[in-house]
Structure 1
């Protein structure tokens, strides 16, 4: 399923939903981390513990991504931690001790678990002899800790972050950085993510993409569609197993 949105150079709104079947497996899977592999719903508990409604966790995370994207398109590559803290200061501005509340919520990143399907899915994907790496807008240290706690660090060849890239995803330079680190051409790589904006960015950069639809929400019609849509990582492994291996 490709080109569910206007192609580059075409008038905005001109769409094509013509499916494009994958002919072979990718050589490299590039995983997003936050929300794709980590279960961030637990951060809502941290909001409650500092006296803030848990439903503010989702708009806070969306807001910090927005700010990171804005900084990226204006030529900066900000620290995820710095942007997250600044965004929390805005959300928690009326708390008596903003700094303490911010520290408590940020510490939650160091205790997040994997989604329930991730461990089995990762093992099934490595059984297909696929190379696995990450490309996160968050810090590599947070991803490393998540994988160590989840017992899957050995499955990942590299834990990459945009910390060392020119900018955040979905900038094309972020995906190019990961491809360069792995020595793989764009057409031989597949991004795996829950975020449509990440799928869109990867497709625009020439990668294939798998959307992990964890919520059942519709995919935005204004963005490039994923090549594969699944509800879990074991399902992704099953779909890729049906394809011929890359030669």
Structure 2
């Protein structure tokens, strides 16, 4: 990710609809544990807003390879955060929950399968892995240049990868179908009217638009949690459990 994008992320993360919707979904998944003394690890914590929200559920620690990200996380008052590259990360604890939100897609991740294996090893039996991933190669655009996207994922292939490692899938669904459609249309428009400015999608929208997308996101979250999956979207959301192979 470009260094300036961390500053942008830090200032947007609390109120921007995209972050609020995703964080709300993650928190609702964690609440199902009905435990306020969880050991939680955020792998690739960025500027730390999710860690801040998860703090109510137990002991939260995190890592990020970026000095800028760590500095912004510490600015939030977070203490249990370390600068570390996930490729070289060696788990030293056992966690009830591991979150890794829009990290595996990154060009700095040399082997996403190896990182997933580390997550599996670092979870306690029955522990939960929560992932959000960039989806569908057709959506690659200027934003992906800014955030250094190397790969986008499809559900079937990724679920198979997790199951090969030993995970049991609790939830696997795409998210943000409306955003998917907006991006496709936007790409078509840019092919006719190219833009000279390359920028990320994390730009402050008008208040009414932010509120509208936040409300739509809440409805979508409720659908995902209570009813089922969505067949397409801009992101892939996964909740996987470390199966107890000894049982």
Question: TM-score surpassing 0.5?
Answer: no
User: TM-score scaled by structure 2?
Assistant: 0.36
User: TM-score scaled by structure 1?
Assistant: 0.36
Which structure would you say has the larger RCO, counting Cα contacts within 8 Å and 6 or more residues apart? 1
